[in-house]
């Protein structure tokens, strides 16, 4: 079966030349746009100054980023989950944001309208990168990335029906200037009544590659967390059967919530017992009395030798 020719929408964000006046502050300032009120304020300001941004052109030539909704299947089996993904390409020097951007930025979001009985998961986020919004360090993506979402169909579907999936997307593309974007992405897929999945040969490998690179649970090391001095968090890793850390390995922590300041250094101390302590700075808007510290821990030497082995998920109770 072939996918409807109109089932993929591409959106390009073009350079409107907006000066990043909202980010011209000292690097240690608690400038952030990811709490709801400040997101609304930021987007409202941009909309007033450059209202055309909300209608960025539907073409892929000369853009700062290109976005395309793709599916790993060409048709849908009743009751059999499958994945779709928002593929994002960034022009050199530009980025979009991870699920928790740090002290600045707005994460990419998708709001789905699905056929009756279908369900969509939250975005499954690949490991982030450190990037710069002007002079500020944030967490996002400069590389081409696939933001995957799992779609679960109901157990019964009308044979040979054509199914339509709509996602309203919002994102922020930044470098030394910032560009909010909004767009709709559509997929049209027929029902597959056979017993075999109808994989899309043009996209299947990309989905499998992304799955293989998702951060896994940290194994062989245990994590603990404690309060430090001067508004610091002490995140400690103790070897419980894992590979020793190479002396030259760089360790870096990406936090799932707002407990860690993305624009501050993360000095590490190698302790005599082989454990490692990372000192993390809290931002002024850090949540009060959190129950645990969760995120992604990066090890340049790799936690294991598998694809994506430099990144691992970690949780430590307060």
Q: What is the pLDDT of residues 24-42, one digit of tens each?
A: 222 223 334 444 333 333 4
Q: What's the pLDDT tens digit per position in 225-278?
A: 999 999 999 999 999 988 888 888 999 999 999 999 999 999 999 999 989 999
- Could you say which of 189, 213, 237 is where a domain stops? 213
- Domain hosting residue 14, numbered range: 10-213
| Spatial separation of the C-alpha atoms in residues 77 and 94, rounded to whole Å | 38
Q: Where are the alpha helices (DSSP H) in the chain?
A: 36-49, 204-213
Range name among 20-29, 196-205, 280-289 with the lowest pLDDT average: 20-29
Residue 2, domain member (yes or no): no
Whether 22 has a pLDDT exceeding 60, the answer reads no
Asked whether the whole model's pTM tops 0.75, one would answer yes
- Could you say which of 166, 195, 213 is where a domain stops? 213
Residue 5, domain member (yes or no): no
CATH number at residue 254: 2.60.40
CATH number at residue 14: 2.60.40.10
Residue 4, domain member (yes or no): no
Same domain as 190, residue 286: no
Same domain as 93, residue 42: yes
In eight-state DSSP terms, residue 95 is B
Bridge partners for 109 per DSSP: 170
Domain count, the chain: 2
Same domain as 125, residue 172: yes
**What is the full DSSP assignment across 205-227?**
HHHHHHHHHSPEEP-SEEEEEEE
The pLDDT assigned to 14 comes to 43
In eight-state DSSP terms, residue 76 is B
Tokens, residue 106: 């707005």
Same domain as 171, residue 80: yes
Q: For residue 299, give the H/E element and its range.
A: strand 292-299
CA distances from 30 to 264, 281, 290 (A): 11, 12, 19
Residue 3, domain member (yes or no): no
Average pLDDT over residues 45-52: 35
Same domain as 181, residue 83: yes
Same domain as 246, residue 166: no
CA proximity to 183, closest of 12, 306, 36, 310: 12
Of the two residues 18 and 150, the one the predictor is more confident about is 150
The pLDDT assigned to 8 comes to 44
- Could you say which of 213, 236, 256 is where a domain stops? 213
Q: What's the pLDDT tens digit per position in 152-204?
A: 999 999 998 999 999 999 999 999 889 899 999 999 999 998 889 999 999 99
């Amino acid at each position: 079966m072939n996918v409807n020719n109109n089932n993929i929408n591409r959106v390009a964000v073009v350079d409107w030349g907006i000066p990043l006046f909202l980010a011209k502050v000292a690097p240690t300032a608690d400038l952030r746009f990811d709490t709801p009120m400040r997101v609304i304020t930021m987007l409202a300001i941009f909309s007033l100054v450059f209202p055309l941004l909300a209608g960025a052109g539907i073409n892929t030539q000369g853009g700062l980023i290109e976005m395309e909704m793709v599916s790993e299947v060409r048709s849908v089996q009743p009751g059999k989950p499958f994945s779709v993904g928002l593929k994002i390409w960034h022009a050199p020097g530009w980025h979009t944001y991870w699920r928790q951007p740090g002290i600045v930025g707005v994460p990419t979001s998708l709001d789905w309208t699905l056929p009756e009985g279908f369900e969509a998961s939250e975005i499954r986020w690949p490991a982030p990168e450190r990037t710069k919004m002007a002079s500020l360090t944030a967490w996002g993506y400069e590389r081409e990335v696939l933001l995957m979402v799992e779609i679960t169909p109901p157990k019964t579907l009308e044979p040979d029906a054509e199914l339509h999936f709509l996602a309203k997307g919002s994102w922020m593309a930044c470098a030394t200037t910032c560009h909010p974007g909004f767009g709709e992405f559509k997929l049209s897929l027929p029902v597959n009544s056979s017993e075999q999945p109808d994989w899309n040969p043009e996209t299947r490998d990309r989905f499998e590659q992304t799955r293989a690179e998702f951060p896994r649970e940290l194994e062989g090391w245990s994590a603990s967390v404690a309060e430090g001095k001067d508004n610091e968090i002490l995140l400690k890793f103790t070897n419980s059967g894992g590979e020793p850390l190479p002396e030259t390995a760089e360790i870096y922590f990406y936090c799932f919530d707002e407990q860690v300041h993305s624009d501050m250094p993360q000095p590490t101390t190698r302790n005599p017992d082989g454990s490692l302590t990372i000192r993390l700075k809290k931002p002024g808007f850090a949540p009060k009395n959190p129950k645990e510290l969760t995120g992604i821990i990066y090890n340049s030497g790799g936690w294991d030798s598998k694809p994506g082995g430099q990144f691992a998920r970690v949780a430590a109770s307060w």
